[in-house]
Amino acid sequence: MAEILKAADALDAALRLLRRGELVAIPTETVYGLAGDATSGTAVARIFDAKGRPRFNPLIAHVSDMDMADRVGLVDPAARRLAEAFWPGPLTLVVALRPDAGIHPLVTAGLDSVALRMPRGFGRELVSRLERPLAAPSANRSGRISGTTAEAVQADIGQRIAMIVDGGATPVGLESTIVKVEDGRLRLLRAGGIASDEIEAAAGMPLLRRENTAAPADVEAPGMLASHYAPDAAVRLDAVEVHAGEALLAFGQARADGAERAAAMLNLSPRGDLREAAANLFSYLRRLDASGADVIAVEPIPAAGLGEAINDRLARAAAPRDNFGPRTGFRNR
Ligand code: TXA
Ligand code: MG
């Protein structure tokens, strides 16, 4: 298992490992990241191996300041405006890759664009001390629920990495919102920790959207494969009644019929607050999964604001899973 160090004591030990091309799981404000030196082919290859992630799926390069972002990508005025509004924070900008970026081509899966994000807190401090961008996908095995605590990361991939930095539960709880900036226009590639309407307000223009697709060949943010965030249990959305033996993921005050029959129940936010629900989503899915129920029934969750990203993750958790390789421990297929 990985060694777990508290964030306050971990900076030097994490730097030592990263400088040797090894991986460290780190807290960010969104979810835990599995970090490696983005300029090292060895480190980046280790990230793909530890996650079991297909190499066509590019990684986010985490930067500590605007100068570092400008050395890696071509941050045009539209992108800069969003960076100024939301960085450091849960926004990832996909921009053109600079030919002399210095990051390993595996990071971008050979694309001519790069995903840039400036995280808050420990992650930013670490990048700043390393003086190189960190490649960091969410610290979970590919296709599984993202880790929002050091314990969840340990349980999922602890056997494959040397060290986990424990910064407590991540405050946002959903991954960053990904926006692609192209010819001055903005496209939403992944709903996330900053609501789309906030981004539109800051940008002064609409976010273009695309159809979701399950076909890897034309996936634009390849992490957006249909099945993702999958617990072992099956997931049933928009439940208005609970069947015997199901676990219930509740939201707000009104309960689904038969809730008293639920084998286990957790309420994402009894007061109906979407920010609180986002922060609880992944850890509650894990806990209900651990209850051993075959099905997790999920009450309807409003689509506004952060509800867009919450519903996106739930839809992927509920999606048919046959676009993924073999997995162990399935109770339902
Ligand atoms: O909050 C987050 O974004 C977390 C923390 C650790 O920073 N990271 C994260 O990474 O969620 P990951 O690898 O799980 O998701 C990154 C997504 C993937 O869907 C990937 O396909 C997409 O970003 N992506 C990366 N580079 C891209 C590019 N050049 N063009 C389009 N999509 C890209
Ligand atoms: Mg992920």
> Which residue shows structure tokens 């800069």?
80
Query: Stretch 19-40: mean pLDDT, rounded?
Result: 98
Tens of pLDDT, residue by residue over 124-158, are 999 999 999 999 999 999 999 999 999 999 999 99
> In this structure, are residues 299 and 247 in contact, taking their beta carbons and an 8 Å threshold?
no
Ligand 1 and 117: CB distance under 6 A: yes
Ligand 2 mean position to 321 CA, how many Å?
16
Gap between the Cα atoms of 216 and 58, Å rounded = 13
For residue 223, name the pLDDT band (cuts at 50, 70, 90): low
What mean pLDDT value characterizes the chain?
A: 92
pLDDT of amino acid 226 = 73
Question: Would you say the CB of residue 34 lies under 6 angstroms from ligand 1?
Answer: no
Mean pLDDT, range 312-321, rounded to an integer: 92
pLDDT of residue 216: 40
Distances (CA, A) of 49 to 141, 147, 289, 307: 10, 17, 25, 32
| Six token digits for residue 206 | 């609409």
Q: pTM of the full predicted structure? A: 0.93
Closest ligand 1 atom to residue 114 Cα is 29
Listed residue (132, 156, 169) closest to 230, CA to CA: 156
